[in-house]
């Protein structure tokens, strides 16, 4: 998922906060392609790219929940 698609997901209220149960309203530090692993062996070296990584911020009054994750799809409703 790219940044514009992720912004649309946040703006539509599809990500839910596990602490207060309301829609997550903010995010920070979105990385579109994170490195998932680096292989370095005899004659075999490569970098495998994984999915996106982001800091989720609830942003609702009274809730201070934040999490840096690459598994943000777990919060989709």
**Tens-digit pLDDT profile for residues 11-70:** 999 999 999 999 999 999 887 765 666 777 777 777 776 667 889 999 999 999 999 988
Burial letters 14-43, b for 16+ CB under 10 A, else e: ebbbeeeeebbbebeebeeeeeeeeeeeee
pLDDT of residue 6: 82
Mean pLDDT, rounded, for 5-14: 89
pLDDT of residue 2: 75
> What is this structure's pTM?
0.72
């Amino acid at each position: 998922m790219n940044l514009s698609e992720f912004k649309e997901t946040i703006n539509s209220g599809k990500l839910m906060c596990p602490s207060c149960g309301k829609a997550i309203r903010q995010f920070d530090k979105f990385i579109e392609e994170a490195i998932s692993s680096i292989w370095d062996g005899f004659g075999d070296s490569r970098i495998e790219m994984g999915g996106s990584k982001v800091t989720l911020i609830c942003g609702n009054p009274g809730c201070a929940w934040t999490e840096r994750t690459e598994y943000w799809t777990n919060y989709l409703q």
